[in-house]
């Protein structure tokens, strides 16, 4: 993508007019991307639509295979022969189950996250380095997944009728760990975090952080270019672990105004408590999903349980059925779940532009993100498939802000000189 340079709110000559037309300015930004680059990013993003379906079909296929072949029942029997303790039985079942799922889904994983990413120029890792990280991820999944399922199956045994309520609590707790703890303690297993040594970049970021009462004293740089060409940043952590981090691709590919726009957006997530809000929305979604799963699970076991040798909800052999039902519900709820996330992202965009005051920086970053997101989707596409606002929507917000907003500290003279109008 052609780099759009600039040091403030006058990056494009087309947009220096005091009477800015937001619609025309938005179109000018979109047209600044060469046609072949738009077609490439469109193809990449639209290919992701199919991957949503293929990932669902792989999970469903693995679940049906484990049930219909009675492999799941044999794994359960194996666990029962190893130990008479129910907790250990759940663990002994979970580990081979997760390994089995990893192996069967690995071909799609390789295509989606290695081959395809290299085809579109978004990945930088060799296969051995990529595979090593997959093994690290597998180890984390085995530990975290086993602990989660041990606790969940304890709930199943103790509350076979109301497990969907208590199970929601368990899922929310583990989701909390994933959202707030993992970014600080798990991500360093894959990348190196070091203090950013460029004060011309870190100081403006820290100024914005202090202005918004974000308790940090330094900015960290992440060596994400080891894996990808994508730009990224985050503000994560709680209770003394809060950390501002941006990846080295952002430093290499973006100007200071663009970096400020990105970091202000990420601060918006923190200041607006989006982590807690998303956790709440997730808890509600899980509660509804578990309630429906309970009904569908009982109906399926009543009809096919004998054939699958699944005894009931507390039987680990029924885990593939739980996975099949829940992933089906998640697949069907894709538009709703994407909308929930997209709304919070739009709120962070609004916070970011008012904090950084860099509309052209925000628009330029939207184009950079357009390398792997379709910039100008149809409304239906955006509703169903986008968990972030489209590039077009983000640029339009920036241009609306630029057309309407006054510089910081400028008096509204027309209002101050007309008290009656103000009173109205």
Residue with tokens 């707030």: 180
Percent of the chain scored above 70 by pLDDT? 91
The span from the CA of 202 to the CA of 353, in Å, is: 18
The span from the CA of 227 to the CA of 129, in Å, is: 9
Give the pLDDT score at 242: 85
Measured in degrees and rounded to the nearest 5, phi and psi for residue 263 equal: -70, -35
Give the pLDDT score at 178: 82
Q: What is the pTM of this model?
A: 0.86
| Mean local confidence (pLDDT), 80-97 | 94
| Mean local confidence (pLDDT), 227-235 | 92
The span from the CA of 202 to the CA of 224, in Å, is: 18
| Mean local confidence (pLDDT), 342-349 | 96
Length of the chain, in residues: 424
Residue with tokens 């918004």: 212
CA atoms within 13 A on the CB side of 311: 10
């Amino acid at each position: 993508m052609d780099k759009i340079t600039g040091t403030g709110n006058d990056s494009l000559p087309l947009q220096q007019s005091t009477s800015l037309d937001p619609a025309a300015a938005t179109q000018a930004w979109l047209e600044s991307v060469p046609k072949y680059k738009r077609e490439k990013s469109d193809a990449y993003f639209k290919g992701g639509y199919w991957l949503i379906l293929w990932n669902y079909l792989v999970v469903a296929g693995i679940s049906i295979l484990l049930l219909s072949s009675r492999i799941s029942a044999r794994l359960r029997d194996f666990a029962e022969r190893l130990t008479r303790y129910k907790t250990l039985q759940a663990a002994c079942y979970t580990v081979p189950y997760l390994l089995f799922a990893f192996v069967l889904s690995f071909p799609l994983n390789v295509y989606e996250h290695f081959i395809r990413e290299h085809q579109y120029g978004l990945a930088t890792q060799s296969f051995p380095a990529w595979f090593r990280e997959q093994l690290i991820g597998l180890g984390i999944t085995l530990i975290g997944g086993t602990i989660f399922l041990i606790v969940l199956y304890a709930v199943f045994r103790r509350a076979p009728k109301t497990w969907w309520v208590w199970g929601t609590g368990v899922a929310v707790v583990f989701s909390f760990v994933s959202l707030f703890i993992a970014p600080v303690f798990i991500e360093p297993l894959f990348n190196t975090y070091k203090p950013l040594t460029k004060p011309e970049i870190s100081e403006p970021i820290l100024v914005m952080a202090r202005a918004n009462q974000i308790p940090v004293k330094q900015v960290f740089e992440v060596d994400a270019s080891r894996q990808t060409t994508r730009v990224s940043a985050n503000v994560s952590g709680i209770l003394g672990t809060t950390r501002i981090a941006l990846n080295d691709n952002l430093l290499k590919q973006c100007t200071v105004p663009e970096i400020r726009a990105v970091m202000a957006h990420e601060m918006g997530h923190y200041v607006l408590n989006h982590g807690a809000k998303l956790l709440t929305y997730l808890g509600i979604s899980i509660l509804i999903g578990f309630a429906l799963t309970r009904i569908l699970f009982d109906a399926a076991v009543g009809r096919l349980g004998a054939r699958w040798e699944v005894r009931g909800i507390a039987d680990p052999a029924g885990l593939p059925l739980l996975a099949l039902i829940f992933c089906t519900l998640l697949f069907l709820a894709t538009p709703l779940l994407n909308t929930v996330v997209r709304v919070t992202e739009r709120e962070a965009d609004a916070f970011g532009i008012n904090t950084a005051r860099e509309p052209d920086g925000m628009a330029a970053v939207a184009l950079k993100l357009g390398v792997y997101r379709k910039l100008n989707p149809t409304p239906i596409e955006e509703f169903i498939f986008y968990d972030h606002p489209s590039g077009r929507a983000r640029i339009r917000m920036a241009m609306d802000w630029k057309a309407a907003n006054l510089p910081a500290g400028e008096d509204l003279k027309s209002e101050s000189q007309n008290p009656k109008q103000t009173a109205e």
